[in-house]
Structure 1
């Protein structure tokens, strides 16, 4: 705990906002704050932008074979499309380059204090005391937490003792690490499916352990990225689900033929498993499916059906806990392990404590970051220029409780707590902007920002 004396000695930046994290969410916030003239400082513990997409960022879960889970043309920042030469599903290296280009284009890097982890954030009356490691605390009027979600592995415990190697997916970098090993991947989210494909190509033998069946969506449908169809679909869920389910039966077939359990839920009631490569490896018996682990027994894994395998490496692809380690956990309400913020971003009890990126959704995350950053930035601007408008929005923060999952009716699991349907989310944010008389993001605003940045750089050039 910082003493009151330390707080009183804090550097006064109370006219500004602090952004913590320079991954895609933090960069989205920086661009929109800059666009609306909101003063801010920006902190990043690593020496570069990009967050998890920088494979050299200590603690990142990134691996060499990773690709974006949503397609190129629906996934970029607003008014800043990904280049046409990128793949339909860009590689992790392309996404990293794109993110760095975004930061350079809008002059965001010049504001970021790199190599500056934040060790503590706490409320002090109507301001926030932010402590960068080894530096004097600073006082801000608001804090935007954009430090990301995939840093704290969730590792289950199984009975018995295992004499082989146990790792979490956060440690995985290359399929070459599986060479000469009998590998069991536990969990079949999208990262687990990718890593299972690495094991299928490099390991001596490869297995996946799953507790339930999944609906597998191929990455391409009729030669087009699967999510490009969803962007244009406006039919209600009661009609969309059976239509798409019938299409999947035609395109994918019966997944139980390859050992996967029959799904125990309807399509879209869990986060979709988008992976064509996994189907290929299952169809070619490069990887075998096992059910849930019952216990370990020396160098064997025993499964709930009584079968057992001799295994060298168990790799848990079992997800992450959404922690914000520089803040007292009690300052948030929680939905599972997700901060239960209004519109995923606004703390209902502590003014100007924001979160961006602590979200699980089914599409276009970067676009959603821009949508919520646009609302945050205009609210912060109005606190100075239109205080009555800001107070009106604060009433909404306290009382409005929208259903952002729409009609998905998701399976009860930690991953789906607070899940957001991208279409529903964008529609609700549009209603909020209209009610508050706030601006939409309009095509062309990025060009004007780019010109302003270039003009400033030209004036400052020696």
Structure 2
């Protein structure tokens, strides 16, 4: 394996040892980590530019014009590349894209990417190497593959009982509030995109409603004037059982009883379900611009009936019901579409030198995690050349180590929470691993907690 870096041509590089797939936030982190260690790599991106889902110009992506970061810029940056402190607490999508472009420029990543090239398949050879077939009729062999193609490209569309004669779409097809004008809109789902689109509908639709199959804890984006994640990470650390008692009392103090607004009482303890960090849904419910309903029971014509016996007329149902973590070009190697069994959500336990960066499900910001995971991958690949004994030690961990990263939380049994991890023990475990393997001193910087 050669460690010399070289500028890549328009075809796969001769002698490149690692293939990075995707040039979104995870792929950029992977490329930076590999390049910093002098590892030769090819980098391909099916679109014409970097940014992944944060580029609203992509017609195949899930981004919409009102999208913002759902975590604060303070805690959402790559580990050694902070956001500009003049930006708002929760940057807009175009500001996030500008940040990614600045990161790529800082580390000279763009000229090494082959744009407009998709990976059709990867195949594991008998000698343990990987052969990648590209849609431009080229192919190449690699010792390792880093799949960083993202997890929000395949819509998870629910079945709506009955026959609705209006328009039914997944939220990934939504782009701009102009699409909602003159329409009575029902948004299904209370994740980040569901809440954003429900807010757009409250402003621009002829009627707006949101349907949730259960009650959720709504965490405002600011608590006592600071971003919620900054507030939660500051001050003394409380054991989870105490957090689950204290934070509901704080939310009740800040928001009152949300069932008075038509929201269902949560059927789980706080933090057991991926958090809904949003302030605008409660605002519009309080002002009567938005109506909350439980799960859909059935539809007939333009009438939607709900499980509590109520019904209403709608023209458009937008399903903000999440995504499946498909990796079409390598699904047979990753298995489960919702949560592949990856060590630390990164290392394939079965297939040597197959990695996934960007498929983690946790309650913290993503970019610092992508960065740390990329540094781990690069450190492990570097060790295979420079420190074989340490690489064998890591290989044993990949096969056998199954740390409890729940932080004592009993996560909900919904598919999204298969393999879900709590950010605090995950960060702590990754920090210990980075230190014990000797990977932290050269490339890693601790993200703010």
TM-score range, shorter chain: over 0.9
- Residue 270 of structure 1 is matched in structure 2 by 273
Measured in 2, the distance between the counterparts of 1:11 and 1:173 equals 35
Q: Which shows bigger deviation, 234-243 or 145-154?
A: 234-243
- Residue 8 of structure 2 is matched in structure 1 by none
- Residue 193 of structure 2 is matched in structure 1 by 191
- Residue 58 of structure 2 is matched in structure 1 by 57
Measured in 1, the distance between the counterparts of 2:44 and 2:83 equals 25
- Residue 421 of structure 1 is matched in structure 2 by 422
Q: 2:205 aligns with which of 193, 203, 213?
A: 203
Measured in 1, the distance between the counterparts of 2:228 and 2:441 equals 27
Q: What is the Cα-based RMSD across aligned positions, in Å?
A: 1.8
Q: Is the 8 A contact 1:371 1:426 kept in 2?
A: no
- Residue 39 of structure 1 is matched in structure 2 by 40
Q: Is the 8 A contact 2:22 2:44 kept in 1?
A: yes
Query: Aligned pair 1:261/2:245, yes or no?
Result: no
Q: Is the 8 A contact 1:374 1:441 kept in 2?
A: no
Q: CA deviation at 1:330?
A: 3.0
| 1:208-238 deviation line (CA, Å, top 9, x unaligned) | 1111111111111111111102223422112
Q: Is the 8 A contact 1:196 1:207 kept in 2?
A: yes
Q: TM-score, normalised by structure 1?
A: 0.91
- Residue 7 of structure 1 is matched in structure 2 by none
Query: Aligned pair 1:252/2:263, yes or no?
Result: no
Q: CA deviation at 1:248?
A: 0.9
| 1:428-456 deviation line (CA, Å, top 9, x unaligned) | 112222332332466889xxxxxxxxxxx
Q: Is the 8 A contact 1:216 1:252 kept in 2?
A: no
Measured in 1, the distance between the counterparts of 2:12 and 2:113 equals 18
Measured in 2, the distance between the counterparts of 1:405 and 1:36 equals 32
| 1:378-422 deviation line (CA, Å, top 9, x unaligned) | 100011111121111101111001122221211111111111222
Q: 1:301 aligns with which of 278, 301, 304?
A: 304
Measured in 2, the distance between the counterparts of 1:12 and 1:317 equals 41
Gap regions ≥5 residues in structure 2: 1-10
Q: TM-score, normalised by structure 2?
A: 0.94
Q: CA deviation at 1:15?
A: 4.7
Aligned CA distance change for structure 1 residues 415 and 441 (closer, same or farther; 3 Å): farther
The secondary structure found in structure 1 opposite 2:161 is coil
- Residue 6 of structure 1 is matched in structure 2 by none
Measured in 1, the distance between the counterparts of 2:358 and 2:98 equals 20
Q: Is the 8 A contact 1:14 1:127 kept in 2?
A: no
Aligned ranges 1:398-413 → 2 under 5 Å: 398-413=399-414
The secondary structure found in structure 1 opposite 2:347 is coil
- Residue 227 of structure 2 is matched in structure 1 by 225
- Residue 170 of structure 1 is matched in structure 2 by 172
- Residue 390 of structure 1 is matched in structure 2 by 391
Measured in 2, the distance between the counterparts of 1:167 and 1:333 equals 27
Size of the aligned set, in residue pairs, is 435
Measured in 2, the distance between the counterparts of 1:67 and 1:11 equals 36
The secondary structure found in structure 2 opposite 1:19 is strand
The secondary structure found in structure 2 opposite 1:66 is coil
| 1:234-253 deviation line (CA, Å, top 9, x unaligned) | 22112222222211111111
Query: Aligned pair 1:286/2:286, yes or no?
Result: no
Q: Is the 8 A contact 1:71 1:228 kept in 2?
A: yes
Q: Is the 8 A contact 1:333 1:341 kept in 2?
A: no
Q: Is the 8 A contact 1:430 1:440 kept in 2?
A: no
- Residue 430 of structure 1 is matched in structure 2 by 431
- Residue 98 of structure 1 is matched in structure 2 by 99
Q: Is the 8 A contact 2:218 2:275 kept in 1?
A: yes
- Residue 338 of structure 2 is matched in structure 1 by 337
Measured in 2, the distance between the counterparts of 1:152 and 1:320 equals 5
Measured in 1, the distance between the counterparts of 2:391 and 2:414 equals 36
